[in-house]
Amino acid sequence: MSSKKTFIFIAFTAAIFMAFGFQNSSEHKVLFEKAKFTMETKGDLKGAIKLFSEIIKKYPDEREYAAKSQLYIGLCYEKLGLKEAQKAFQKVVDNYPDQ
């Protein structure tokens, strides 16, 4: 009976760790969708820039999302008519040539 309880405890603990692992692995995706919604639906370009910048800072290893975020930052600056757009687009080329 003791080994059965041990097995259940280990299985339960593993399930909890897996659940938290999957949750953390998708946070950047949720934040990215929130940033796109802020840009496209709300039209809050400055707010979107902040969210996209947060993705780049918090999730640098998620290169696909960091590169897309940098691209969207450039698009936001461009829509705002700011010269920072060119610098933002250049960062995509310089920092994410593999994307």
Q: Where are the domains of the chain?
A: 27-95
| Three-state SS sequence of the chain | CHHHHHHHHHHHHHHHHHHHHHHHHHHHHHHHHHHHHHHHCCCCHHHHHHHHHHHHHHCCCCHHHHHHHHHHHHHHHHHHCCCHHHHHHHHHHHHCCCC
For the whole prediction, is pTM greater than 0.85? no
* pLDDT number for residue 9: 59
Tell me the per-residue pLDDT of 16-52, one tens digit each, with 9 for 90 and over. 555 555 555 689 999 999 999 999 999 999 999 999 9
Cα–Cα dist 57/62, whole Å: 10
Please indicate whether residue 1 or residue 42 has the higher confidence score (pLDDT).
42
What's the average model confidence in pLDDT over 71-97?
Answer: 98
Please indicate whether residue 71 or residue 1 has the higher confidence score (pLDDT).
71
| Token digits of residue 96 | 């994410």
